[in-house]
Structure 1
Amino acid sequence: MFKFRVMALSSVAGFVLVAGGMAQAQDTVSAAGQDQALMGDIIVTAQKRSERLSDVPISINAASGDQLKSMGVSSTDDLQKLVPGFTFQKTVYGLPVYFIRGVGFNDTTLGVSPAVSVYVDQQPLPFSPMARGATLDLERVEVLKGPQGTLFGQNSTGGAVNYIAAKPTPQLQAGFDLSYGRFNQVNAEGYISGPITDTLRMRVALRNEYQDDWQKGYTARQSNGKRRFYTGRVSLDWDAADTVRVALTVTGWRDHSDSQQSQLTQYTALVPAPMGRPLPFPIETFPTAPRNSRAAAWDPNLDLSQDNYFYQFAGRIEADLSDDVMLTSLTSYAKYKQDIPIDLDSTTYSSGVSRDFGNIRSFSQEMRLSGDAGKIKWMVGGNYQNDRVIENLLFDPLITSGTGVGPFTFDTTYVDNDQKISSKSAFGSLDYAITEQLTVQGSIRYTDQDRDFAGCVRDAGNGQLSAALAFLSTIVTGQAATIPAGVCATLSPGYVPLPIVTNSLNQDNLSWRVSANYKPNSDTLLYANVTKGYKAGSFPTLPSGTSVALTPISQESVLAYEVGTKLSLLSRKIQITAAAFYYDYRDKQLVGYIIDPVFGTLPSLVPIPKTRVTGGEFSIVARPMDGLTLSANSTYLSTRIQQNPATPIGPFGNVTDFKGQSFPYTPKWQGFLDAQYDFALSSGLTAFVGGNVAGRTRTTAVLLSNAPAFADQEALLRIPGYKLLDLRTGFAAADESWRVEFWGRNVTNKFYVISATRNSDFTTRYTGMPVTYGVTFRYRFGAK
């Protein structure tokens, strides 16, 4: 193991040290230049063109790559540390689900289109698991809030995260970051960038993330939680002609890390004895997990190592057709594969073991024309995306006492979900400057999506599930049924055996946005937006005795109203942004439950006919004195279900009234405070000390029934609020050529819950990381 860590470190450090030895002498960045980067005219591409952040009439949070590293943001999951209104949770298989302003898509199925979309240099990562390596070697990140469907695709009803990768440079540069921390964490990242010819530039970046086990068994001598994550990116920028620019990027990552194991908080048999399926071990007496972030339990014979990988080939061509008109082409091909093991019952007994196998292939092509004609800025374009998502879920029926049909029981079950998704869209936008201070904007996108599904449940070839479902079909229909072993066994709604369940969901929509913004001076912006957005529907991945459980959920829509302001005061020593918003939702996709005749109560997406979101955001960045930077932000959200679905089923299978409830994973308040003081120790040496506090109020994990009979059980599906404290201090060269930082995350070792779920007979939760601490050394070679 030690040899492996040394080799991993050496591979990256040696790579950049050799490059640094060839690099030129460094240029010095003045303090004034640093102040401008911090407080001045940050350039963003939120509207698919370069603009000052203070001129964009959208609620945006932007941070540089160095800022992300200092705050411990190593993945998209960590953006909740600095983006107000951004939250994430983990599905039962550990896959991320992102929310902005309470809007997300909380489903375990691999093939769902997220409500918060992620891009790198405007190239899509259309499925959330693909985004794990997106934070490598960044120039900055932009988080756009509210529906972004007119420019960034139909599914961005919550918002969009656009990472901007560091680009190849015209001078030779290189650098590396080396970190060592608790749990034997060893992270190494490096890059080299520079010219190959006068017109061709290249940048290569690599990162290796290593960590030993951090979880430990609380009933047996076990450990889990190792990190083995490798990612890289190669970028080429080519000036093909004076008016043509080409960028090619190859990105990939591989993950052999352990799946985080959830904690058991309660076992309650859905079908109590003697009617329920007898279990071959005393699971009712297994102790629940203590309030300790590291505590967990799982089958001692289970290897929780994942085998996931991702790669993407992306191309961008820009051609200036005239001084004022540009043609842009974006092409992307991405492949993702996963093998994720998990112990769903969170005990040491041999039950609940599951593996989620998946493959995604995604192709995207966008073409657009944009122009600037004085008072008018315009854009027209089209997009085509084709996805194939295949998911095979290995499911252990011992997770529930409800599995079984008459005298028939069954063991390992496979759940198949094969989706083919084709999306075509056309879009356009127009900005018109009525006066120098007043501008109106409009954008529109028409999208047509065809989604074809094929899936079912089947046994592992032993014929147990086939015999059980054939018996059920015979009893209900009165007609003798036979289902061969190992083939699809799902029944129709009339309990007739189906060779396979097939269905399609073909829908279209028209997203639009209108905006007016008023800029009385260069330091003040007032804006108002009205946006209509849509998110596509989906087919679930569920063990299904009948095809009713595989019914798709249709698209949702939102009509969003927002007003806001961006202010700079006291010669830009203070910057303030504020926004208020109201969302009117139709057919909001939230997690409810259905009753399957074979597999019992199953989590399922439920369309809520009418819901609303009301809220506000406020942030401030201030430099009250030289060297001192203070920032604070907060978000208030009020979400409410205004109308029940046709059949409202609560988390324990009972019909309930959801009216008046808030959305799951939507804390009413979120806030973040950060302070840093930089001071000179000598003419060439500076020091800094800083820290931040991030907090949020309580929320729920699912829609609750609020029935007195289930009060104790549903209390475990409520997620308490928490506050986390991070600290940092260190030294740096005055020209930032090197930097040493000592850091601590969650330094008070706060126990907090990321997500919770009711999975058949078991209620479980995922916890956040305990206290971690370490040191990072950063070095940069070459011109800046």
Structure 2
Amino acid sequence: MFIEEIIVTTQKRAENILDVPVTLSSYSGDMLKSLNMQEFDRLSDITPGLIIQEQSPNNPAFVIRGITSDNGSPQIAPRVSVYLNGIDVSRSRGSHFELFDIERIEVVKGPQATLFGTAAAIGAVSVITRKPRQEFAGELTLGYGNYDNLEAQGFVTGGTKTLQGRLAFSYRQRDGYIENIAGSDGSQSAGGIQQRDLNGIERFAVRGSLRLIPTDNLTVDLVLNYEENNDTGTSFKSGVYAPTGGTTSPFTYAELSGGGPLSEHVLGRAQLGLDRTVYDANLTAEWTANETWSFTSITGYREFDSLEVFDADGSQAVYAEFAEDAVGDQFSQELRANYSGGTATGFVGVNYFHETGQVDVPFLTEEGTFLQCAAGIIPGLPCVAPDGSVGSVTAIQNLPPVYYASRFGNTGSFNTYSAFADATVAASERLSLTAGIRYVYETRESGGYAALPASILTGAPLIDFGYVDTAGATVTEKDNFDAVLPRFNARYALSDTVNLYATVSKGRRSDVIEVTSAAGANNTPVADATYVPAEITWNYEAGFKGQFIDGRLDLAASLFYQTYDNFQVTIREEGITRQANAGTAKNFGAEGEFRAKLSESFELFGSAAYINASIDDKAENGVFAGNRFRLQPEWSTAFGGLWTVPLTSTVKVTGNVTWTYRSGVFFEIENQPIAGVDISEHAVHLVNANIALADREDRWALSFYVTNLFNKDYIIDAGNIGGLFGSPTLIAGPPRFVGVQVSTRF
């Protein structure tokens, strides 16, 4: 009776997780399935130091040790590497994908540029999918739950000794859990466009994999992914303006009307929601030359096309209606040689990464409403009255609505060339030392454009978003940057099953060239570029990993201290957002996790993290001095149990319960209310559970699940773009979901 050995490839070679001298968590696909984890945000329930916030697949936020990577602008680099089968897919618009048919997930903490590229400024999430097998096998799972939740997942695999294939798919659909009355009788837009309930999902994904093994020492894997999302609108509900007959509570019904009759023409969709497609191709070849040397080539291509229409002001007023129309593509090529001989192991390689992206942002408003809500043109006339009616300069004069549309956008294109090397040497029987380095050279080009027509009522653009009209042109600015990013690790084996380790590593978030437009000579639009210097992180940590009680208990814990120079933040300023340098910051904390095999039938697991992350309280850091990082709880913990109980010689009962806790968080770096609305969340406790009746050989199973068992109300975000317009919005977290699944294997 012992805990199953966990093998990871974090250091580009297969190793027992206990022997890897970095802080990381790893979960098998079987464990994820038993916990019914099909979305990234659920992964953070059980991972110390990791928070994943999912407003929608178009805008996920990955937070490791208090540092958030969620900016969708193609001009700004991610902070967290998201890897899929060895390929960097970190750009936020394309980094979300369904978790199905997974081999394992590895979450690595601290800067990991040598291992996972420059986007791993503070950590990485690496997802490895299941590969084909020669033996014919398959599985099908069907499920139904509340909110008309429908789901289907499955795979089939098989082949010959030299050629094997695997086809897997996932489909999930669920109605929205926040009612939206816009377009319904009794709403301010009765008879208009009927909006769908908010926070609903419809997601389809399919993955095809081929494995070619022409010789005993060569393996070639081709993996193709396609994903399509058609989620309903996000519940950006105003904390200032109540829906007709309702309240400003984010947990009650909303009245998000979108752009009215011009929504489809201007914003691209008649209804609020998301249309997103992602294509992905990965070709990996591994050749083992001899017992000492092996060579790997990884080629990746990924593209995404995402249109999300949202009601930014969160009210029934056609006041601040937006869309984000984002497209992007990525190409990467890595060549790596691995060495393993005697007392030394390591690798050396080169990587090329290219990315282009564009985010187009249409804006739609009713001019009379905008002028009244933004400027209060008519004294005493509220933007939204207590009875739900909308204040408008045009309506008060019995004039028809006057709609105004404009747009702005930004582009980004960069090429990154890097060379890296990493070596581990056994200095003695118990002490091993690791040193790694990555040299990075990058070219970055940013662009901006805007179409800002004059308002009918004022004769000037209603809002310029920091741009001047570029008359269809895109103004650009480009520059080159380079960096050297090292890591140093030491591991000391106290015994065959207990290791101490220490690490020092450097992380870097690339320089930002943020481009808008300005009026040049003869009012010709020119690039107005703001340079924000590279954010530099130094990470110092020490920890231990061990297996105790004859292999029945795994323990891991670490202490870390991080410093930041040129900490990059997104701030609100005069109705726009922009990047800024918040100065210096420090972050220290502790993380730990355990797994305990109490019997053949019962296992416990748990984790805890304490993180104290804030901007340095220095005068030179201005308004940010002393502020907590956004989206980061000071304390987070999880505790759970998994059990298997045989009922008969052919039937068993399996189950698990997980309790998670997170202390309070701020949702904006300013740490202050917006328009009198609190933009923080207090501590949250959640309980999830699963139970199944199954064949002892896992040929069939009937399972039941519940998430948020006690139906706790909590929010996952606050402030948002609505805060720029005096109407900060709040997004409700998921309520209690219950459902049943039936599965069969063959």
| TM value normalised by structure 2 | 0.86
Kept in 2: contact 1:354–1:393 (CA 8 A): yes
Alignment match, 1:55: 19
Alignment match, 2:380: none
Alignment match, 1:18: none
Alignment match, 2:733: 768
1:214-273 deviation digits (Å, cap 9, x = unpaired): 320368746424422110111111112232221111111111221322111126xxxxxx
Q: Report how far residue 103 of structure 1 moved.
A: 1.4
Match of 2:703 among 738, 741, 746: 741
Classify the secondary structure of the residue corresponding to 2:36.
coil
In 2 relative to 1, CA 379–93 (structure 1 residues): closer, same or farther, beyond 3 Å? closer
CA-based RMSD of the aligned residues comes to 3.1
The unaligned stretches of length 5 or more in structure 2 are: 185-194, 262-269, 378-392, 394-401, 520-524
Classify the secondary structure of the residue corresponding to 1:229.
strand
| Matched letter for residue 485 of structure 2 | S
Q: Report how far residue 315 of structure 1 moved.
A: 0.4
Alpha-carbon distance in 1 for matches of 2:117, 2:439: 10
Match of 2:173 among 185, 210, 213: 210
Q: Report how far residue 109 of structure 1 moved.
A: 2.4
Match of 1:181 among 145, 149, 155: 145
In 2 relative to 1, CA 239–284 (structure 1 residues): closer, same or farther, beyond 3 Å? closer
Match of 1:584 among 557, 563, 566: 563
Alignment match, 2:274: 306
Match of 1:290 among 238, 249, 260: 249
Q: Report how far residue 59 of structure 1 moved.
A: 1.1
Classify the secondary structure of the residue corresponding to 2:742.
strand
| Matched letter for residue 514 of structure 1 | F
In 2 relative to 1, CA 448–159 (structure 1 residues): closer, same or farther, beyond 3 Å? same
Alpha-carbon distance in 2 for matches of 1:97, 1:576: 28
Alignment match, 2:460: 468
| TM value normalised by structure 1 | 0.82
Q: Report how far residue 528 of structure 1 moved.
A: 0.2
1:631-679 deviation digits (Å, cap 9, x = unpaired): 111100001211669784xxxxxxxx32222111111000111112321
Alignment match, 1:754: 716
Q: Report how far residue 289 of structure 1 moved.
A: 2.3
1:367-397 deviation digits (Å, cap 9, x = unpaired): 1111112101121101101111011111236
Classify the secondary structure of the residue corresponding to 1:126.
coil
1:389-468 aligned at under 5 Å gives the runs 389-396=357-364, 411-459=404-452, 468=460
1:263-282 aligned at under 5 Å gives the runs 263-266=237-240
The answer on 1:605 being equivalent to 2:579 is yes
Alpha-carbon distance in 2 for matches of 1:397, 1:507: 41
Mean CA deviation greater in 83-92 or 123-132: 83-92
| Matched letter for residue 468 of structure 1 | A
Match of 2:614 among 620, 640, 656: 640
Alpha-carbon distance in 2 for matches of 1:366, 1:427: 11
In 2 relative to 1, CA 502–287 (structure 1 residues): closer, same or farther, beyond 3 Å? farther
The answer on 1:555 being equivalent to 2:534 is yes
Q: Report how far residue 552 of structure 1 moved.
A: 4.3
Alpha-carbon distance in 1 for matches of 2:245, 2:253: 18
Q: Report how far residue 354 of structure 1 moved.
A: 1.1
Q: Report how far residue 319 of structure 1 moved.
A: 1.6
Q: Report how far residue 458 of structure 1 moved.
A: 1.0
Alpha-carbon distance in 2 for matches of 1:220, 1:469: 29
Alpha-carbon distance in 2 for matches of 1:93, 1:678: 34
Alpha-carbon distance in 2 for matches of 1:578, 1:624: 21
Match of 1:360 among 328, 331, 348: 328
The answer on 1:321 being equivalent to 2:289 is yes
1:548-569 deviation digits (Å, cap 9, x = unpaired): 9862433211000010111111
| Matched letter for residue 308 of structure 1 | R
Alpha-carbon distance in 2 for matches of 1:356, 1:761: 20
Mean CA deviation greater in 163-172 or 603-612: 603-612
In 2 relative to 1, CA 404–506 (structure 1 residues): closer, same or farther, beyond 3 Å? farther
Alignment match, 1:676: 642
The unaligned stretches of length 5 or more in structure 1 are: 1-34, 268-282, 473-487, 595-599, 649-656
Alpha-carbon distance in 1 for matches of 2:16, 2:450: 53
Alignment match, 2:625: 659
1:58-69 aligned at under 5 Å gives the runs 58-69=22-33
Match of 1:625 among 599, 607, 627: 599
Classify the secondary structure of the residue corresponding to 1:133.
coil
Q: How many percent of aligned residue pairs carry the same amino acid?
A: 24
Q: Report how far residue 741 of structure 1 moved.
A: 1.4
Alpha-carbon distance in 2 for matches of 1:333, 1:422: 14
Alpha-carbon distance in 1 for matches of 2:203, 2:142: 15
Kept in 2: contact 1:170–1:194 (CA 8 A): yes
Kept in 2: contact 1:91–1:108 (CA 8 A): no
Match of 1:727 among 681, 686, 689: 689
Kept in 2: contact 1:266–1:288 (CA 8 A): no
Alpha-carbon distance in 2 for matches of 1:397, 1:617: 47
Alpha-carbon distance in 1 for matches of 2:517, 2:107: 36
Classify the secondary structure of the residue corresponding to 1:147.
coil
Kept in 2: contact 1:541–1:550 (CA 8 A): yes
Q: Report how far residue 66 of structure 1 moved.
A: 2.3
| Matched letter for residue 577 of structure 1 | A
Q: Report how far residue 500 of structure 1 moved.
A: 4.4
In 2 relative to 1, CA 323–634 (structure 1 residues): closer, same or farther, beyond 3 Å? same
Kept in 2: contact 1:609–1:643 (CA 8 A): no
Number of matched pairs: 691
The answer on 1:566 being equivalent to 2:545 is yes
Classify the secondary structure of the residue corresponding to 1:151.
helix
Alpha-carbon distance in 1 for matches of 2:182, 2:75: 36
Kept in 2: contact 1:293–1:767 (CA 8 A): no
The answer on 1:232 being equivalent to 2:206 is yes
Alignment match, 1:82: 46
In 2 relative to 1, CA 418–624 (structure 1 residues): closer, same or farther, beyond 3 Å? same
Alignment match, 1:152: 116
Classify the secondary structure of the residue corresponding to 1:54.
helix
Q: Report how far residue 605 of structure 1 moved.
A: 2.4
Q: Report how far residue 766 of structure 1 moved.
A: 1.4
The answer on 1:687 being equivalent to 2:653 is yes
Alignment match, 2:384: none
Kept in 2: contact 1:214–1:294 (CA 8 A): no
